[in-house]
Amino acid sequence: MPELPEVEALRRALNEPVRTFPVEKAGPAHIATLKTFDPPLSALEGRRLAGAERRAKRLLFPTEDGELVLLVHLMSAGRLRYLAAGERGPKTPAFRLRFQGGGELVLTEGGPKKRAGVWLLSPEAAEAELAYLGPEALGLSAEQVGEICAAESRRLHSLLRDQRVIAGIGRAWANEILHHAKLSPYQLSQELDSEEVERLAEAIRSELERGLELRKRGGADKRVYRVHNHLGEPCYVCGTPIARVDYEEHTVFYCPTCQTGGRVLKDRRLSKLLK
């Protein structure tokens, strides 16, 4: 799933092209993709977008007149691209926005499951839709991270992924951040000392910035991620093979030497506990 660095890189790439021309034709949209029906998509036609914004893992395209907001959530398999005039696009996109001048914003989704979503909302409704989100992960101070960790006792991997607590991090960047911070994915947030909180805050900032820089230059997963999906490959710090454990329906990657004092983490999948 694209997380903060991926969505922010996309936002920056889309910001100029989407506001160059007014919308000529909004839609079609796959029935499972379009989550709202009032106002209708056609309400966008003739209006100009103000650019691209981002909140957590979502993209927002407000209209220049301030009356509407198009919200896009890519989920795990959605892909949003801007096609210049004349560039060949997919035959049946999940959603399409055509601009005067011929450019198109096109959402596609691989696989049979349609999980990506498009919402057309009033600014007030968009705000309400996003109100549950916590502060943006990029820009958190060590003090804020300390407050978040102290507020409730949570395992760090789960805490970092909770969008109500910190917005923008998913399982891939939680793996990268915790490895950089040399903290166990299972460590309880309230048990961190102040030096560990500092390390965690620094890791959130530096890993997300590293990810954003690489994604802006088109970096592929294999190069951008150093721990996530690198099972058995040598840790980039100490050379120990990267290990994997299943936790809360997620696959967690970590270095047993750098993060868990040599301990191998036990499977804590919910489904296992329920058996």
* Interface residues toward Zn ion, by CB under 5 A: 235, 237-238, 240, 255, 257-258
Instruction: Considering the complex, state which of residue 33 and residue 260 has its C-beta at the smaller distance from Zn ion.
Output: 260
Nearer to Zn ion, 34 or 177 (CB): 177
Cβ count near 139 (within 10 Å): 11
Inter-residue contact 13 to 103 (CB < 8 Å):
no
- Determine if the peptide bond prior to 112 is cis (ω within 30°): no
- Distance of closest approach, residue 252 Cβ to Zn ion, in angstroms: 15
**Minimal distance, residue 183 CB to Zn ion, in Å:** 12
Overall residue count recorded for the chain in this entry: 275
CA distance 156 to 151: 13
Q: Output 22 or 241, the one with its CB closest to Zn ion.
A: 241
Minimum gap (Å) between residue 40 Cβ and Zn ion? 54
Measured from the CB atom, is 23 or 235 closer to Zn ion? 235
Beta carbon of residue 206, minimum distance to Zn ion (angstroms, whole number): 17
Q: Residue type at 262?
A: G
Residue of 252, 253, 246, 254 lying closest to 270 (CA atoms): 246
Asked whether the beta carbons of 194 and 135 are under 8 A apart, the reply is: no
- Indicate the residue among 28 and 241 with the shorter CB distance to Zn ion: 241
Check if the beta carbon of residue 70 is closer than 8 Å to that of residue 44.
yes
User: Which residues lie across from 251 on neighbouring strands?
Assistant: 246
Which residues make Cβ contacts (< 8 Å) with residue 59, sequence separation at least 6? 7, 10, 11, 14, 52, 53, 71, 72, 73, 74, 80
Q: Considering the complex, what minimum distance in angstroms separates the CB of residue 187 from Zn ion?
A: 16
Closer Cβ to Zn ion, 21 or 236, answer by number = 236
As measured in angstroms, the least distance from the Cβ of 243 to Zn ion is: 10
Residue nearest Zn ion, Cβ-based: 235
145's tokens: 């991270």
CA distance 271 to 247: 10
